[in-house]
Amino acid sequence: MPDTPLPVGVDGCRAGWIAVSDVGGGLTYRVHASFAELLASSRAATSILVDIPIGLPWRDCPSRPCDRQARALLGPRASSVFSPPSRRASRAANIGQARAWNVDEVGRSLSAQAWGICRKIVEVDRVLLDDPSAARKVFEVHPEVCFLGLNGGKPMRHRKSKPEGVRERLATLSVWQPEANDLLQRVLRETRRQDVGADDVLDALVAHVTGRAVAVELRRLAGVPSEDDKGLPMQMLFRDHQSTLVPAGS
């Protein structure tokens, strides 16, 4: 990544994808119907950090090393890291078929949570497989790992679905991005809850703040193998909590 990153933080939402960026010195957001549309509108971005599994497990690597490392880091928040489907299972017609194919390929069933984002996994997977240049600027993040990186290496104490979890994450974000609450309130005013939730905004925000770090401040959870059988990376980016970078507004 370049020393002056122009990052876009992205999370899936019911309406599609919410993207957070900083244009002209202020935070802005946009909701895109598809990931391909988001990518096309983000040509100026040097990095796109998205909360979605990218490299996927397969027969020879049934469990992604980055997922295991993330769970070990997160401790009490480890359950937020669920195992993604195999590529074939992600393209199944229904959850029953997906579970059967996943058992056949990687030896385990598929959670309802993983099945719930399979369409989004396939969206990103197809874009990256079709356009190798996109794979050089699109990076996987996990929000809870990103929050840990911004919080001195400590995981969040509360679930993000709880009001205290929202407050805790917003307080952490605000240290690094004082406009975080303003953006959250603006999105909540301007969108419907059935389209975009507060947790979607917070996850896109933490991805954006993570992406603002220069290369020497970023760490990667990865392992062996570090790529899937199609050559897509199996890794998660996060900000080094030991970085000497001064938070925004200091």
Sheet strands side by side (includes 16-23): 26-32, 16-23, 7-13, 47-50, 138-140
Strands 236-239 and 218-221: antiparallel
Residue range 9-52, pLDDT digits in tens: 999 999 999 999 998 778 999 999 999 999 999 988 999 999 99
Residue with tokens 């385990």: 108
Residue 24's Cβ-side half-sphere holds a number of Cα atoms within 13 Å equal to: 2
Residue boundaries of the structural domains of the chain: 7-81+123-235
Residue range 144-169, pLDDT digits in tens: 999 999 999 999 999 998 999 999 99
Give the type of residue at 192: R
Report which of 5, 47, 13 is spatially closest to residue 33, judged by C-alpha positions.
13
How is residue 119 written in tokens?
A: 């369409």
By CB neighbour count within 10 A (0-12 exposed, 13-18 middle, 19+ buried), where does 195 fall?
A: middle
List all residues 6 or more positions away from 225 whose beta carbon is below 8 Å from its beta carbon: 61, 65, 234
Which strand (E) or helix (H) includes residue 181?
Answer: helix 180-190
Residue 215's pLDDT is 77
CA pair distance 93, 105, nearest whole angstrom: 16
Single pTM value for the model? 0.92
How is residue 191 written in tokens?
A: 């969108």
CATH number of 7-81+123-235: 3.40.30, 3.30.420, 2.60.40, 3.30.70?
3.30.420
Residue with tokens 């969040």: 156
Give the type of residue at 40: A
Provide the residue count of the chain: 250
Residue 246's pLDDT is 38
Residue 166's pLDDT is 95
Residue 5's pLDDT is 61
Q: How far is CA 195 from the centre of its chain?
A: 18
**Regions of the chain with pLDDT less than 50:** 1-3, 244-250
